[in-house]
Structure 1
Amino acid sequence: MPIGVPKVPYRMPGGQYTDWISIYDRLYRERIIFLGRDIDDEIANQIIAVMLYLDSDDPGKDIYLYINSPGGMVTSGLAIFDTMQHIKSDVVTICVGLAASMGSFLLSAGTKGKRMALPHSRIMIHQPSGGTRGQATDIEIEAREILRIRHQLNEIYAGNTGQTIAKIEKDMDRDFFMSAQEAKEYGLIDRVIEERP
């Protein structure tokens, strides 16, 4: 049975009264965004809106993106990625649990030197998939688009990790799982968080 979104007490600075707000709203006030589900247009739009707001509020201050996601829609993930590259604030990415598919893509897209994972996290990369049905010409168009997106993702992964495009293509041919330490050695992250800050 779902428990709903937890609420926590919060008092506005200088305020007299305490309000109960959603835990996510409270985290936003600390510049923390939590991606804890499949990536689709709805969650992408929410994350983008929060990033844009936090960046305009204080452009020199880090934004923290915690990721525990099995991945999701490529176009939604690319929209978040483009926003991360566009804003002035550094985006610190932290894997807690699983960063798979577009989740690992966003993890690797954090500001270099600020991409992290907890010690027991799992990170998985693979090629994009599609599920088109219909006329042969429609399927052919979709196949060309998937190949174009695959090449685009491979280039970005190569830039984020320092791996060659050939290695990225080979490794992404099938699901390629890594531990946090292996992801660090691969170049997807910069540090495994072993101690409390």
Structure 2
Amino acid sequence: MNVLKNGELWLYGTVGLGVTDEEGFTAINVRDALAEIGGQDVTVRINSPGGWADEGITIYNNLRAHPGKVTVLIEGIAASAASIIAMAGHEIVMRTGTYMMVHEPSGLTWGNIQDHAKMIEQLDTINRSMADIYVKQTRRPKAEILRELADETWMDGAQAVQKRYATRVTDARAVQPPAFAWSTYRNTPAAVSASGSRQQARGFQDAMGRIAAVRSAKAERDVRIAAFIRENLIGHENRPDVASLLNSIQEEAPEAYSMAKATGPLSPTNVVKGPSSWDGVVDRVNKANNWFSVHPNAGEK
């Protein structure tokens, strides 16, 4: 795809190939366009529902390395990987009625527990890299950014400026977002999904069909971390080593940290139940294994 038009970069469509049946733009397209521009200032127009995170990060780095000033204009939507690209702008301008969305990356695995665990590590690495990009632009605490990624945060122009993902809003009206498989996202605003639906590519459908397994494994990991915090750290916050460890956990695993600090059980399925005469045994099992999902009727006759 040729993204260079009248000396400007037009990043319309999906980030990367094979997301939908529509052709997307790639890091190679952007690299070639920047090479043709040379060292001049460049305007980057974005109307993209997102796509592949690694492609978005590569495009971001290409734009950051450009010697001229980069002005980003969000003309319809900058969601997911497209919002990463937007962070490369020295100035990030959103038209009235546009949206930006940030969220955690997704991926797929096919295999055993170790395969899924490796994917979780890879996703955590990508997620931290994305968070670092957003932190660099917003100058806000990383823990706040990680929470917004976990929540799949949608913002209009004013909200994006308030959170420092954008620098200002212009009076120019938004263009219509492209048609996309909006059900891929959890919190898509009605005004965005009304732009129309587009079929996902087969490979992308297969990927999304397996993401649930990775999310489930991540949720179990968070329960395990929260259980460790409750069992070993809560009540010892005055110790410097414990305080330092808690700060690190809050930074790198905010969901697990919040889970540990909240009241109530960590999970509706992580408590072993049994007859009252078994209270001592059940208590020891729960303390030893309160991170592990056990059938709620375990031990009952």
TM-score, normalisation: structure 1: 0.78
Amino acid paired to 2:107 = G
Alpha-carbon contact 1:39-1:77 (below 8 Å) kept: yes
| Higher alpha-carbon Rg | 2
Contact 2:93/2:169 (<8 A) preserved: yes
Listed one character per residue, the Cα deviations across residues 100-120 of structure 1 (whole Å, up to 9, x for unaligned) are: 011111112211xx2101011
Q: What is the letter of the counterpart of residue 7 of structure 2?
A: R
Gaps of 5+ in 2: 18-24, 174-301
The answer to whether residue 123 in structure 2 is matched with residue 140 in structure 1 is no
Tell whether 2:35 aligns with 1:52: yes
**Alpha-carbon separation, structure 1, partners of 2:29 and 2:111:** 32
Distance verdict in 2 for CA 1:144–1:179, change over 3 Å: same
Structure 1 unaligned regions, length at least 5:
6-21
* Structure with the largest fraction of helix: 2
**Aligned residues of 1:31 and 1:62 also touching (Cα < 8 A):** no
| Amino acid corresponding to residue 30 of structure 2 in structure 1 | I
- The residue number in structure 2 matching 1:168 is 145
- Cα deviations by residue, 1:151-189 (Å, 9 ceiling, x for unpaired): 111111011112110110111112111111111111111
The C-alpha deviation readout for 1:120-160, integer Å capped at 9, x for no partner, is: 10111111111222233222222111101111111110111
CA distance in 2, matches of 1:105, 1:72: 11
The whole-number CA distance in structure 1 between the counterparts of 2:158 and 2:93 is 10
Asked if structure 2 preserves the Cα contact closer than 8 Å seen for 1:95 and 1:118, the reply is yes
Relative contact order, higher structure (CA 8 A, sep 6+): 1
CA distance in 1, matches of 2:159, 2:84: 15
Question: Residue type of the partner of 2:120?
Answer: A
Task: Decide whether the 8 Å contact of 1:108 with 1:161 is kept in 2.
Answer: no
Q: Residues 45 and 74 of structure 2 are in contact (CA less than 8 Å); yes or no, is this contact kept in structure 1? A: yes
The corresponding residue for 2:60 is 81
Match of 1:159 among 114, 133, 136: 136
Q: 5 Å matches for 1:28-107?
A: 30-40=6-16, 43-55=26-38, 59=39, 61-107=40-86
Name the one with the larger strand percent.
Answer: 1
C-alpha contact (below 8 Å) 1:31/1:63 kept by paired residues: yes
The separation in 1 between residues aligned to 2:85 and 2:9, in whole angstroms, is 13
| TM-score, normalised by the number of residues in structure 2 | 0.52
Task: Provide the C-alpha distance between the structure 2 equivalents of 1:87 and 1:130, rounded to a whole number of angstroms.
Answer: 29
Q: How many Å separate the matches in 2 of 1:72 and 1:195?
A: 26
Equivalent position SS for 1:172: helix
Does the CA-based 8 Å contact 2:96-2:172 persist in structure 1? no
1:118 correspondence with 2:95: yes
